[in-house]
């Protein structure tokens, strides 16, 4: 039985639920502006997955700041690279600029990345053999407003490095994605959001043999001004999509359980 007192009280005070929501939204935006030192954000990029975009502040991934993206396997970086490629391609396309991707070797394979929308005209690949060079190059590149985003793979980053990257990203409105091996540290970081991507068995159509669509468990561990969450995503018809829930319920529950273990560990 619905509780009649809530709406009635609101109506008595002359404020409907919808109006309340608007007021709350305004207050939240004000808090965000205060936290950003009075500056307006650089806009957001919607991932195209409603559940995730609703969890993120302002309905999308904030641009012009630092995001950390980890995998769970330090040697198999495929899943994180695929998710990052999808994000970078989206950011590059909505700004009409290129992205720079800095790695330690010559391992980026353009033929595979192009399948995630990161085509050669959008991607400049850079190789930095030393971690110090990679961080330096990221910071330099982030200050260049002609780039949409800069992704960099480093073995480890500390608070100072993340702060410097975040400031550089803010100064030119370029988005930084720091790719870390393994789960991101529990330690402090200046990153706006922190994600992990874990590969999951691929999604096959019923009865289809072999390997199907790439599927990952994407977890938002931390998000400034937003909530955290975990989703099962797949790469379907050239876009990120939530995996069909009916089939994946088990996995989502599993993901939630894993997460709670992580939180209280």
Partner 1 sequence: MLLDVTGCAHLFGGEEALRADLIARLRRAGFAVRAAVADTPAAAWAAARFAPRAGIVPPGGQAEALAPLPVAALRLPEETVRGLEAVGLRRIRDLAPVPRATLARRFGAELARRLDQAFGALDEPLSPRLPVPPHEERLALAEPISTPDSIALAALHLIGGLCRRLAAEHRGLRRLELTVFRTDHGPDSVPQSVAIGTGRPVRDPAALMRLLGGKLERIAPGPGLELLVLAAPLVEPLAPAQAGLTGAEEKGKDLGALLDRLANRLGEDSLLRLVPRQSWLPERSVAGVPPLDAGLGADSESAPLWPDDRPRPVRLLVPPEPIEVVAPVPDDPPKLFRWRGATHRVGKADGPERLCAEWWRHGGELRDYYRVEDMEGRRFWVFRLGLHRPEAPAGWFLHGFFA
Nearest Cα to Cα of residue 102 among 149, 74, 75, 134: 134
Paired tokens of 261: 């273990």
Stretch that binds partner 1, among 2-10, 41-49, 79-87, 253-261 (CB under 8 A): 79-87
Paired tokens of 116: 């995630």
> How far is Cα 174 from Cα 176, in angstroms, rounded to an integer?
7
- Is 125 one of the binding residues for partner 1 (CB under 8 A)? yes
> How far is Cα 160 from Cα 188, in angstroms, rounded to an integer?
10
Nearest Cα to Cα of residue 160 among 88, 259, 39, 66: 66
CB of 143 to partner 1, least distance (A): 8
CB of 129 to partner 1, least distance (A): 8
Taking CB under 8 A as the criterion, the residue among 8, 39, 145, 247 binding partner 1 is 145
Q: Are 195 and 70 in contact (CB under 8 A)?
A: yes
Residues in the chain: 265
CB of 35 to partner 1, least distance (A): 30
C-alpha radius of gyration, the chain, whole number: 20
- Is 77 one of the binding residues for partner 1 (CB under 8 A)? yes
Q: How far is CA 40 from CA 47, 79, 97, 136, in A?
A: 21, 33, 22, 27
CB of 30 to partner 1, least distance (A): 32
Taking CB under 8 A as the criterion, the residue among 44, 55, 119, 254 binding partner 1 is 119
Taking the CA of residue 252 as centre, how many other CA atoms within 13 Å lie in the half-sphere pointing to its CB?
13
Stretch that binds partner 1, among 59-67, 77-85, 176-184, 256-264 (CB under 8 A): 77-85
Based on CB atoms, which residue is closest to partner 1, 37 or 209? Answer: 209
- Is 120 one of the binding residues for partner 1 (CB under 8 A)? yes
Stretch that binds partner 1, among 19-27, 78-86, 154-162, 257-265 (CB under 8 A): 78-86
Q: For binding to partner 1 (CB under 8 A), which residues are involved?
A: 73, 75-79, 81-83, 85, 98, 105-116, 119-121, 123-129, 133, 136-137, 140-141, 144-147, 198-202, 204, 209-212, 214-216, 235
């Amino acid at each position: 039985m619905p509780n009649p007192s809530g709406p009635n009280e609101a109506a008595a005070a002359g404020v409907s639920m919808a109006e309340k929501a608007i007021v709350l939204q305004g207050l939240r935006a004000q808090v965000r502006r205060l936290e950003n030192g009075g500056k307006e954000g650089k806009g957001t990029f919607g991932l195209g997955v409603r559940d995730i975009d609703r969890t993120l502040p302002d309905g999308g991934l904030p641009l012009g700041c630092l995001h950390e993206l980890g995998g769970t396997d330090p040697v198999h970086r495929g899943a994180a690279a695929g998710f990052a490629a999808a994000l970078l391609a989206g950011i590059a396309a909505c700004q009409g600029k290129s992205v720079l991707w800095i790695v330690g070797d010559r391992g980026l394979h353009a033929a595979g990345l192009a399948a995630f929308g990161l085509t050669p005209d959008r991607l400049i690949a850079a190789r930095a053999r030393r971690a110090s060079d990679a961080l330096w190059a990221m910071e330099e590149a982030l200050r260049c407003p002609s780039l949409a985003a800069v992704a960099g793979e480093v073995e480890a980053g500390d608070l100072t490095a993340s702060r410097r990257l975040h400031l550089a990203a803010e100064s030119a409105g370029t988005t930084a994605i720091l790719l870390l091996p393994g789960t991101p540290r529990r330690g402090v970081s200046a990153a706006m959001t922190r994600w992990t991507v874990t590969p999951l068995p691929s999604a096959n159509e019923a009865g289809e043999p072999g390997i199907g669509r790439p599927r990952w468990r994407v977890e938002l561990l931390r998000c400034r001004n937003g909530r955290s969450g975990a989703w099962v995503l797949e790469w379907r018809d050239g876009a990120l999509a939530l995996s069909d829930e009916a089939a994946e319920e088990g996995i989502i529950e599993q993901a939630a359980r894993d997460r709670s273990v992580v939180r209280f560990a």
